[in-house]
Amino acid sequence: MKIKIWDNYTRIYHLSQLILLALLWYSAEEGDFESHFLYGFILLGLVFSRLVWGFIGSQNSRFVEFVKMPWQLPKLYKQKKLFINDSGHAPLSGYMVVALLLSLCVQLVTGLFATDDVLAEGPLMYVVSEDLAYLLDDIHTINFDILTILIGIHVLAAIVHLMFKHPVIVSIFTGNSKAKQSIERYWRSSYIGIAVWIVSSALAYFLLIDMASY
């Protein structure tokens, strides 16, 4: 029996995040920092909208649904819900979601202040001291490696799920999964999450660019 486990916003978030990260990496490699910062503003809005969605969004997307306390893990393991959960994120994948969001936030925030003394100057670089700007630039560089490792682990986990015939990747694109019984969930309109994304990205762009002009 197929049941709906992801709303359209969550599916759009996953795909958009992958595309924007690829564009950010490519633009940095090419030295196209005008595009790099533009993609960064869009991703900043996307991550903010996901944080908001984690509190007001559809039930399966709320942090309280899949971020479990460590002492709950043994019970979930006995219930065979530690690695896979038909109703949404499994507990271990929930920890990965949190780790990725934290790393993305660090990457985006430090990028606003970072500088390489040649081409790249974050829009808030001159708000902080020169030493702090260099420190944040170092963190930006180091955290990219951490983010890459986390993404690699995420991809590896997806491959393992495929090996065990868990349709995790398919469910992300279709929004549906197979389950033994129907699971009641409440859903929020995806337009709310998308609207938060668009508005927050626009505000980040115009406000931060305006601050950088002073």
Question: What pLDDT does residue 129 have?
Answer: 86
pLDDT at 66 over 80: no
Please enumerate in sequence order all residues whose Cβ is within 8 A of that of 115, keeping only pairs 6 or more positions apart, or say none: 121, 122, 125, 133, 134, 137
Taking a C-beta distance cutoff of 8 angstroms, is the pair 10, 88 a contact?
Answer: no
Lowest mean pLDDT, pick from 20-24, 30-34, 45-49, 174-178 = 174-178
User: In this model, does residue 161 exceed pLDDT 70?
Assistant: no
Look at residue 83 in the predicted model and tell me its pLDDT: 60
pTM for the whole structure: 0.84
> Side chain identity at 181, as an amino acid letter?
Q
**Cα–Cα distance between 133 and 211 in angstroms, integer?**
16
Give 71-108 pLDDT, tens digit per residue.
Answer: 776 776 666 665 665 556 667 777 888 999 999 999 99
What confidence score (pLDDT) does residue 107 get?
95
Count of domains for the chain: 1
* Residue 210 burial (CB count, 10 A): 10
Specify the higher pLDDT residue, 185 or 136: 136
Q: What confidence score (pLDDT) does residue 81 get?
A: 63
Would you state the pLDDT for residue 127?
Answer: 81
Name the nearest CA neighbour of 11 among 173, 170, 191: 173
Nearest residue to 197 (alpha-carbon basis) of 42, 17, 59, 36: 42
CATH number of the CATH domain containing 41: 1.20.950
What's the chain's length in residues?
214
* pLDDT of amino acid 181: 47
- Residue that is written with structure tokens 């994304």 in the block: 197
For residue 28, what are the domain limits?
2-212
